[in-house]
Amino acid sequence: MKNQVKSTGASEKRGKREIKADETRRALFDAAAKEVGKLGYEGASVTAITKRAGVANGTFYNYFETRQQLFDQLLPVIGDQLLDYIRERLMEHQAGVEREHQRILAYFEFFDKNPGFLRIVNEAEVFAPQAFKQHIKSFVKRYSGALKRQHEAGELGDFREDEIETLVYLLMGARSYLTMLWRASPSSTRAKSGQAMLDTYVKLVSGGLFAKNAVTPAILAGGARPAARKGGKGGKAGKADNGPRQITD
């Protein structure tokens, strides 16, 4: 019985240590995100990070061997927080463009609450390239999975499943640059301009940029001949030939 009590006590003590360690690790990541978001990777020192996290300098090295090791983990950790934030704000009943609207709305909300994230992402390709690759890979995987489920439900119109990855990169690019544009807006008009951007984004994904002049892959491959002028007397225009060209090579 005494051995059992000792074992239970040791387990509880170990559990508390693990909880404390997790809390310290999260505090270091949160502090690093704020420092990098404010000063960039080069300007974010271990001293500044530990001071913001409320721990001693030496404590840092109980979790990371170097500052670079922290940087190599930072973006994937914050990126997962972003993806979780988006997922938690999606309602089960939402479908189609309404679901995509909620995704980008949550995306903007996350950036509003974490303004330094934009700098963390943009500088990572240079200062933490492996972290950048991991973040993109994770984002593409989860976003693709979400769109594939919508595709299976018949919510993606004429798009094929093998086009989903391309769609994901297009939408990711749109989100990234829209966020940059939004952050550059004057604070006094940011809410209004942000809503206008969201409305335009939804308009694009719901109707398509050239919906009235839909183009098939065959037309894109063959092209369309411009109206031709035949060199007859007086320079009279000949009949226009707008048919697709034959590809011979």
The gap from C-alpha 34 to its chain's centroid, in whole angstroms, comes to 19
pLDDT, one tens digit per residue, over 149-195 is: 999 999 998 899 999 999 999 999 999 999 999 988 888 988 899 99
Q: Give the Cα separation of 58 and 195 in Å (integer).
A: 46
SS3 labels along 135-183: HHHHHHHHHHHHHHHHHHCCCCCCCCHHHHHHHHHHHHHHHHHHHHHHH
- Confidence (pLDDT) at 175: 92
What is the spatial distance between Cα 126 and Cα 141, in angstroms, rounded to a whole number? Answer: 23
Which one has a higher pLDDT value, 207 or 224? 207
pLDDT at residue 247 greater than cutoff 50: no
Q: Which residue type, as a one-letter code, is found at position 204?
A: L
As a residue count, the chain comes to 249
Rounded mean pLDDT, 188-212: 88
The model's confidence at residue 209, banded by pLDDT at 50, 70 and 90, is confident
d(CA 137, CA 144): 10
Instruction: Identify the pLDDT of residue 17.
Output: 82
Instruction: Count helices and strands (H / E) in the chain.
Output: 10, 0
Q: Is 40:126 a contact under the CB 8 Å cutoff?
A: no
Report yes or no: 77 and 155 within 8 Å, Cβ to Cβ. no
DSSP H or E run through 85: helix 67-88
Q: What is the pLDDT of residue 240?
A: 43
Asked if 106 contacts 86 with a C-beta cutoff of 8 angstroms, the reply is yes
CATH number of 1-64: 1.10.10.60
pLDDT, tens digit, for every residue of 118-142?
999 999 999 999 999 999 999 999 9
Over 70: is that where the pLDDT of 50 sits? yes
- Domain-by-domain residue ranges, the chain? 1-64, 68-230
Chosen CATH of 68-230 out of 1.10.10.10, 1.10.357.10, 1.20.80.30, 3.40.50.620: 1.10.357.10
Mean pLDDT of the chain: 85
- In whole angstroms, give the CA distance from residue 69 to residue 29: 12
pTM score: 0.75
**What's the start-to-end Cα distance of the chain, in Å?**
85
Q: Beta-carbon neighbour count of residue 202 at 10 Å?
A: 16
Residues 168 and 160: their CA atoms lie apart, in Å, by 13
The mean-pLDDT minimum among 41-55, 86-100, 180-194 falls in 180-194
Q: At 224, give phi and psi (nearest 5°).
A: -130, 130
Question: Can you give the pLDDT at residue 84?
Answer: 95
Give φ, ψ of 162 to 5 degrees: -75, -5
For position 34, what pLDDT does the model report? 96
The type of residue at 82 is L
pLDDT in tens, 226-246: 554 444 444 444 444 444 433
**Residue 208's pLDDT band (cuts 50, 70, 90):** confident
